[in-house]
Amino acid sequence: MIRSRSPRPLLNLVVTALMLAASLAASPRPTVAAPKVETYKLTNGMDVVVIPDHRAPVVTHMIWYRVGAADEPKGVSGIAHFLEHLMFKSTDKIPMGEFSKIVAKLGGQDNAFTGQDVTSYFQRIAKEKLRTVMEMEADRMVNLRLTEKEVLTERDVIIEERRSRIENNPNAILDEQMDAALYTNHPYGIPVIGWQEEMAKLSQKDALDFYKRYYAPNNAILVVAGDVTGAEVEALAAEIYGKVPANPATLRDPRPQEPAPRAARRVMLSDPRAGKASLHRDYVVPSYTTAAPGEAEAIDLMMKVAADGATSRLYRALVVEQGVASSAGGGYDGAALDGGKLSFYAVAADDVPLDKIESAMDAVLSDIAKNGVTEKELERAKNSYTAEYIYENDNQSNLARRYGWGLATGRTIEQIETWPEAIGKVTADEVKKAAQTYLDIRRSVTGILTPTPATADAGAARPAPAAPLPANRS
């Protein structure tokens, strides 16, 4: 299923359901009025968000659990995502593997995804079937049945998912290794899908422990967008989800935090499947949830100017003007509970050496840190973000996702809704200050991906895969 840490940039978000894939390709339209969102809290602590949208008789029903891969116990990496898969197995009411088939028979589509901070389940369906999917979702919130056999079968599925998504993709392997080097202490350094060696040992007990600990109405946010009113949803939710008992022990613990970054890091990966050599650079920075007021917005705008698309500084310098890269870009992964990440990349043009590309990238970033961005660039970036935000208002699934993800990572409705205003207030000086503060090489890891060993990989390297360490025999 889908796994990611953040809704924007979507570079790393792999969408497996037709529904969401279609929704992401929403065509730009003229300005759409902001939705009139209503929120409630049920007596058992469950948050409810209703986003009325009466243009078509359909609804998007989403449950967001405030738990993700970064909340996994030590040595049990992948269990959050594994449980997400297992949630499609059975309950007393739903026969084995029938959940999605029932939704499909009702004319709907469903899926789920797991990130570092959130786990979400959703259906898009005709409005008169809302009660049915709510009942199904409320049922599997606490009544999941797992047999040892189902668990073992599904474990093979997630291991195959890892094989196809990570092991078959040198960029994904590098990304995993860069995260492991970027985070020296925080669990964001552990892949959402899990380390292969730990996935192979995930058990029925691991899944049930995680389920019982974190799946409860008081750890969940219900988001319903579509052809409904707030009153309708409140009544339905109170009736259906309201009878699920709260679990007082369900809130997640604080995660180990990242110490102040102090040394630049590099990761070199050689893989014959790599294609063109490429350069990658990530920086650990605050997220919207952890930043001082206005700071995340400044970072966001800085990244828009620096690296987003063909008009960005990076693309123009490396691809258009110097011709050292065939593509280049980057983004800000800022929708996270504990901290955000900047990512830059450039793919080498022809046989341009990566150190030349790195110098060119560093020059672009140094210039922004030293001289800031122009008023014109800033204005264009603000307009672009504001337009994106408004376009997103037009898309039911994206809207539901905006509120669910924001709330599940510690933001308030007000913060979510006043984002365009907050973006509008950012000054060029604030952007420059953000660049100066956060484009600090000590916060960074640089990734080098080459189809054959690069000079930086010299030494006693061998062509064969590195043998794993033997397991501790004691």
- Contact between 46 and 241 (Cβ < 8 Å): yes
DSSP 427: -
Contact present, 144 and 84 (Cβ < 8 Å): no
111-129 burial, b for 16+ CB within 10 Å, e for fewer? bbbbbbbbbbbbbbbbbeb
HSE at residue 151, side-chain half, CA atoms within 13 A, is: 17
- Shortest Cβ distance from residue 432 to a copy of itself (Å)? 12
Q: Quote the CA–CA distance of 434 and 332 in Å, as a whole number.
A: 13
**Which residue, 221, 222, 224, 231, is CA-closest to 60?**
224
Distance CA 120, CA 405 (A): 9
* Closer CB to a copy of itself, 19 or 336, in the complex: 336
Would you say 184 or 384 has its CB closer to a copy of itself? 184
Between 31 and 185, name the residue whose CB sits nearer to a copy of itself: 185
Q: Which member of 72, 84, 234, 377 is catalytic?
A: 84
Of 260, 278, 198, 240, residue with least CA distance to 471: 198
By the rule CB under 8 A, 338 interacts with a copy of itself: yes
Q: Decide: is 459 part of the binding site for a copy of itself (CB under 8 A).
A: yes
Q: Which of 32, 100, 135, 195 binds a copy of itself (CB under 8 A)?
A: 195
* Least distance (Å) between residue 187 CB and a copy of itself: 8
List the interface residues with a copy of itself, window 139-178 (CB under 8 A).
173-174, 177
Distance CA 106, CA 300 (A): 41
33 lies in the site for a copy of itself, by CB under 8 A: no
Whether 232 is catalytic is no
371 binds a copy of itself (CB under 8 A): no
Footprint (CB under 8 A) of a copy of itself, residues 374-413: 409-410
**What gap in Å lies between CA 116 and CA 176, rounded to an integer?**
13
> Distance between CA 13 and CA 114 in Å, rounded?
10
318, 365, 378, 381: residue in contact with a copy of itself (rule CB under 8 A): 365
Residue number with CB closer to a copy of itself (178 or 423): 178
CB of 260 to a copy of itself, least distance (A): 4
Build a one-symbol-per-residue string for 65-104: x at contacts with a copy of itself by CB under 8 A, - elsewhere.
---------xx-x---------------------------
Least CB distance to a copy of itself at residue 468 (A): 4
Q: Is 340 strand, coil or helix?
A: strand
Q: Which is nearer to a copy of itself, 100 or 415 (CB)?
A: 415
Among 339, 372, 404, 406, binds a copy of itself (CB under 8 A): 339
Cβ 5 to a copy of itself, closest distance in Å?
15
Tell me the chain's radius of gyration from C-alpha atoms: 23
| C-beta neighbour count of 226 within 10 angstroms | 26
3-state secondary structure of 112: strand
Interface stretch with a copy of itself, choices 27-35, 90-98, 187-195, 236-244 (CB under 8 A): 187-195
Give 242 or 453: the residue with its C-beta nearer to a copy of itself: 453
Q: Tell me which residues in 252-311 interact with a copy of itself (CB under 8 A).
A: 253-269, 284-286, 289-292
Per-residue tokens: 472:
């501790």
How far is Cα 287 from Cα 335, in angstroms, rounded to an integer? 6
The answer to whether the beta carbons of residues 323 and 360 sit under 8 Å apart is: no
Residues of span 416-435 touching a copy of itself by CB under 8 A: 435
Query: For residues 184 and 386, which CB has a smaller minimum distance to a copy of itself in the complex?
Result: 184
Is residue 198 within the footprint of a copy of itself (CB under 8 A)? yes
Burial class (CB in 10 A: 0-12, 13-18, 19+), 416: middle
Active-site residue numbers? 84
